[in-house]
Structure 1
């Protein structure tokens, strides 16, 4: 009996030693983001946008910049971009105004910035249509998606996105087909924050001003870094700004 008890004790000890340590639960992405939403802080991003007709693919846009946070999400941004034909532009959103410079608009002599009412929305059609710095948007993406490892994949319609995202709902895209589906893949870092976001959708029932986009597939890969670091987005010098276009 003593020998049996002794043998069982040795076996139990061996099992305890060889048992793998319990893995910590993966960080919740929404909770991780919420901890970073501090005014005066933000995140850096770079992105590449493509347009395709299903056969031919064109690199339509590249960009880099920063998103500045408020208590509930994006309070402003500063984006420097380049078009497919290497035309440069810059867009700044500060407060309730967005400022455009470069390839997008022709301006009166002596002015370098065009001011437009409305701020905090998607800068261009080729920009990243989903904004993972918005709490409600990220929550919807996580809820609708399927998680495997550090990736979350899913789909969300324009109409559902408009309900949660100021980034999207402030754009002309809300006038396109409500049932348009955006396919997405979120890649999370070890802290549960978004390190990469890939999206694609096919444009349909577009407005007349964007008829060339009809049927085209727009896809964007965006990488994020420096979550929670200090950033500063400032409006341009008022002397360089106009709300009129060149005649």
Structure 2
């Protein structure tokens, strides 16, 4: 009888050890934000986001843009996006002139693959049409350059933030140059109105990224200087742009569809560096 009990005890210990060893990689993987993000890359799933852009300066803060949008995922990452931007202030006197010319009105951008569809904003489609189609378009129209330039739903971008950030609990705080971010982020490369100069690439963007208990991005705040956005106006060297983004609905069904063909005018075949409206 003692031998039987001893055998059962030994088998129990063996099973416990085996189970613990097998579970360890799973637990480690779930604790890794990059792995957690990639686990979301299921065709037809996605995430929603909202962000607010504020001009920060000694004289006070001016919130002037709000965006709502969604990313649709495929097996390799983001395959489509739908972003609507609204100008939220009537007093544009404090907003930099280098930005306001891009913010004539609210706009919407649908991007599927590398093709963008623009509605509103600076672009005016021909009579009877609502959308302009561009084969190498920007991720969020002209206003995208004044909004969130960091996309935490990109694995390489998320990795860069975590690598460069100082961790406190589930929050990472740090800084990254525009040049370093540009190398890893398709979102930033395709948000640019004008290609960054060598000097502008050295400009530093500061960030605070907070993850949820599931290790997925929940809140991202970025702050960056005006020299990446048309220079600094005399007497306003202190100003910064601050963008706060919230991610919700990870794993929800997202379906981004192109506008009806009858509503679309084609901007023609252009190079990636020429995305319309004189963008160079």
Q: TM-score range by the shorter chain?
A: 0.7 to 0.9
Q: For structure 2, which runs of at least 5 residues remain unmatched after alignment?
A: 1-26, 91-104, 268-275
- What pairs with 1:84-99 in structure 2 (closer than 5 Å)? 84-85=88-89, 87-99=105-117
Corresponding residue pairs, total? 220
CA 1:105 to 1:122, structure 2 compared with 1: closer, same or farther past 3 Å? Answer: closer
Q: For structure 1, which runs of at least 5 residues remain unmatched after alignment?
A: 1-23
How far apart, in 2, do the equivalents of 1:194 and 1:224 lie? 7
How far apart, in 2, do the equivalents of 1:85 and 1:113 lie? 25
Question: What is the Cα deviation at residue 146 of structure 1?
Answer: 0.7
Question: What is the Cα deviation at residue 125 of structure 1?
Answer: 1.2
Give the aligned partner of residue 220 of structure 2. 197
User: Are 1:43 and 1:67, in contact at CA under 8 Å, matched by a contact in 2?
Assistant: yes
Q: Is 1:102 the equivalent of 2:120?
A: yes
Specify which of 46, 68, 75 is matched with residue 64 of structure 1: 68
User: Are 1:77 and 1:233, in contact at CA under 8 Å, matched by a contact in 2?
Assistant: yes
**Which deviates more, 110-119 or 140-149?**
110-119
Give the aligned partner of residue 154 of structure 1. 174
User: Are 2:203 and 2:228, in contact at CA under 8 Å, matched by a contact in 1?
Assistant: no
CA 1:121 to 1:32, structure 2 compared with 1: closer, same or farther past 3 Å? Answer: same
**Which deviates more, 181-190 or 109-118?**
109-118
Q: Is 1:126 the equivalent of 2:146?
A: yes
Q: What TM-score results when the alignment is normalised by the length of structure 2?
A: 0.71
Question: What is the Cα deviation at residue 243 of structure 1?
Answer: 3.3
How far apart, in 1, do the equivalents of 2:83 and 2:228 lie? 28
Cα deviation digits, residues 65-108 of structure 1 (max 9, x gap): 11111233221111122113474321111122111112332222
How far apart, in 1, do the equivalents of 2:249 and 2:47 lie? 5
Specify which of 53, 59, 71 is matched with residue 55 of structure 1: 59
Question: What is the Cα deviation at residue 183 of structure 1?
Answer: 0.5
Question: What is the Cα deviation at residue 180 of structure 1?
Answer: 0.9
